[in-house]
């Protein structure tokens, strides 16, 4: 399945706020579809499977992943020692496009993915154009040394409204580069999610 290219507000009305997916907010409060109901009206009750499915969909849309990509991250999280749900989130937060989003290089993960794909972003002073590139602690994330790249990111930094920088990142505005000092802390995650339900969703696969 390819990445979603349809109306984004329809997705956020269904799943709630997705910071990495879109910064827009719908004026409509009801869920989309015939079972959404009017504001304050009756809503279709979700099954346990439906609740797990929606939590999985939050991850998928927020980080811009295909189904197969997300499942690969699930399998990798299972292989590693520790709490599977937390490891899954840390893997996703260590993606290059997500790191750039958290640094404020773009207003959404989709926008920073485009910056990476077009060769505007460097890791340890080397251009990396793979959005899913897995960064490591100690990596320096910067902007390619040319006027076009610097201008693009500088304009995005001015208009991007980002909450306080996550505790695992340090940003030098003058050099326009960030450093990864640790794995992300669970409380720093912008997305409201119950990752345990995502693990349960894939438990039979």
> What's the pLDDT score for residue 27?
65
Task: Report pLDDT digits (tens) over 139-174.
Answer: 999 999 999 999 999 999 988 766 689 999 999 989
Residue range 5-23: mean pLDDT, rounded: 85
Q: Across the chain, what does the average pLDDT equal?
A: 89
- Looking at the chain, the domain(s) classified CATH 1.10.1050.10 span 8-91+190-201
Q: Which helix (H) or strand (E) holds 169?
A: strand 169-172
Task: Report pLDDT digits (tens) over 175-186.
Answer: 999 999 999 999
Residue 87 has pLDDT above 70, yes or no: yes
Phi, psi of 192 (to 5 degrees): -85, 115
Distance CA 70, CA 201 (A): 12
- Looking at the chain, the domain(s) classified CATH 3.10.290.10 span 95-182
Question: Cβ of 149: how many Cβ atoms within 10 Å?
Answer: 20
Task: Decide: 154 and 169 in contact? Cβ < 8 Å.
Answer: no
Task: Decide: 128 and 141 in contact? Cβ < 8 Å.
Answer: no
Phi, psi of 63 (to 5 degrees): -95, 0
For the chain, give the percent of residues with pLDDT over 90.
72
Task: Decide: 116 and 128 in contact? Cβ < 8 Å.
Answer: yes
* Alpha carbon 108 to its chain's center: 8
Residue 4 has pLDDT above 90, yes or no: no
Tokens of 144: 């390619």
CATH 3.10.290.10 fits 95-182, yes or no: yes
HSE, side-chain direction, 13 A CA sphere, residue 6: 7
Pick the CATH number of 8-91+190-201 from 3.30.2320.50, 1.10.1030.10, 1.10.3720.10, 1.10.1050.10: 1.10.1050.10
Residue 29 has pLDDT above 90, yes or no: no
Distance CA 52, CA 25 (A): 24
The residues near 39 (Cβ < 8 Å, ≥ 6 apart) are 28, 29, 30
Residue 34 has pLDDT above 80, yes or no: no
Residue range 77-102: mean pLDDT, rounded: 96
Tokens of 160: 């991007």
């Amino acid at each position: 399945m390819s990445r979603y290219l349809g109306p984004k507000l329809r997705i956020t009305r269904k799943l709630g706020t997705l910071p990495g997916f879109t910064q827009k907010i719908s004026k409509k409060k009801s869920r989309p579809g015939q079972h959404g109901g009017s504001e304050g009206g009756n809503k279709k009750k979700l099954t346990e499977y439906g609740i797990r499915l929606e939590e999985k969909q939050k991850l998928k849309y927020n980080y811009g992943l295909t189904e197969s990509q997300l499942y690969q991250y699930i399998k990798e999280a299972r292989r590693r020692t520790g709490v599977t749900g937390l490891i899954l989130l840390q893997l996703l937060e260590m993606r290059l496009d997500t790191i750039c989003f958290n640094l404020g290089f773009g207003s959404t993960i989709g926008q920073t993915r485009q910056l990476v794909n077009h060769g505007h972003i460097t890791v340890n002073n080397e251009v990396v154009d793979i959005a899913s590139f897995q960064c490591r602690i100690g990596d320096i994330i910067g902007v390619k040394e040319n006027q076009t790249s610097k201008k693009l990111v500088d304009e995005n930094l001015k208009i991007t409204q980002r909450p306080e920088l996550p505790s695992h990142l340090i940003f030098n505005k003058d050099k326009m580069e960030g450093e990864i000092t640790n794995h992300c802390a669970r409380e720093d995650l912008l997305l409201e999610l119950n990752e345990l339900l995502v693990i349960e969703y894939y438990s039979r696969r």
